Amino acid sequence: MRWGLITRRPAIAALFGPFLAVFSVWSLAPLASRPAVPKADADSRVSKIFLERANAYVKLRKTLEATLPPLKSTDQADKIVEHERVLAARIQEARKDARRGDVFNGDIENLFRKRIREAFSSRQGRQMRRTIAQGEPVNLELHINQTYPKSIPLTTVPPTLLQRLPKLPKELEYRIVGNDFVLQDVKTLTVIDFIPDVYAEHPAG
């Protein structure tokens, strides 16, 4: 039973029950159906949820990496390559049920689409598109948990876009791949999640 703990303690339930019930309904309801909250507060709440998910990934990653011999600066390239290969495989195994939208779901995806749209519509929009074009953009069909191929260039992310997005833990980064907006593991280049067709909404000009 959902409120079993409280129903076994009637006095506490009587005291806090109504508050908890309201809080529970509020926290589980889609953001859109909640009572009007100032826009900035709503955005910051969604950002917070996004960062909680990003941090949950980082925690998993650290746990998995702790099972490997630590990677120190080395002149043996094979050690570096092998470390990242094994770590990527363990991440993929641990996240084998991951699906697109696990991180960028409803409200979070909407927030990112909005921020990206605002950035590309701003005065810097033209320069941002130029930055992407100069970075040798690639077209690639993305899949969750795939490792971004190391043989093709990493796309250049417009710095003014990065200034408008939630700050990530150092283990993660944003990329734009083709028309998709990607959340990626910095070292293993594992695709954690992506939002499709974001850049397609912002053609040059």
Partner 1 sequence: MLRRVSILSLVVLAIALAAPAQQATPPLEKGSVRFAVIGDSGTGHRLQYETAEQLERAQQKFSFEFVLMMGDNLYGSKTPRDFETKFEVPYKPLLDSGVKFYASLGNHDIPDEESYKPFNMDGHRYYSFKKGKVRFFALDSNYMDPDQLNWLQNQLQASTDDWKIAFFHHPLYSSGAKHGSATELRALLEPLFVKYGVRIVFSGHDHVYERIQQQKGIYYFTEGSSGQLRRGDARGASFTAKAFDEDCAFMVVEVTSDELVFQTISRAGVTVDSGLIPRSVSQSQDTASHHP
User: CA–CA separation, 134 vs 182, rounded Å?
Assistant: 19
Up-side HSE of residue 58: CA atoms within 13 Å toward CB? 14
One of 46, 189, 191, 198 touching partner 1 (CB under 8 A): 189
Burial status of residue 36 (CB atoms within 10 A of its CB: 0-12, 13-18, 19 or more): exposed
Q: What is the DSSP string of 149-181?
A: PTTSPPPPPPHHHHTTSPPPPTTEEEEEETTEE
Nearest to 184 by CA among 142, 133, 152: 142
Instruction: State the nearest-atom distance from the C-beta of 137 to partner 1, in Å.
Output: 10
User: CA–CA separation, 130 vs 58, rounded Å?
Assistant: 32
Instruction: State the nearest-atom distance from the C-beta of 139 to partner 1, in Å.
Output: 15
Instruction: State the nearest-atom distance from the C-beta of 196 to partner 1, in Å.
Output: 22
Binding mask 169-188 for partner 1 (x = CB under 8 A): -x--x------------xx-
Instruction: State the nearest-atom distance from the C-beta of 75 to partner 1, in Å.
Output: 4
Residue count, binding to partner 1 (CB under 8 A)? 37
Distance between alpha carbon 185 and the CA centroid of its chain, in Å? 10
Closer Cβ to partner 1, 124 or 145, answer by number: 124
Closer Cβ to partner 1, 6 or 172, answer by number: 172
Report 147-166 residues binding partner 1 (CB under 8 A): 150-151, 153-160, 162-163
| Beta-carbon contacts of residue 132 (< 8 Å; ≥ 6 apart) | 155, 156, 158, 176, 199
- Contact range with partner 1 by CB under 8 A, out of 39-47, 59-67, 104-112, 125-133: 125-133
One of 13, 20, 60, 71 touching partner 1 (CB under 8 A): 71
One of 167, 197, 200, 201 touching partner 1 (CB under 8 A): 167
Instruction: State the nearest-atom distance from the C-beta of 201 to partner 1, in Å.
Output: 19
Distance between alpha carbon 155 and the CA centroid of its chain, in Å? 17
Binding residues vs partner 1 (CB under 8 A):
71-78, 80-81, 84, 124, 127-128, 130-131, 134-136, 150-151, 153-160, 162-163, 167, 170, 173, 186-187, 189
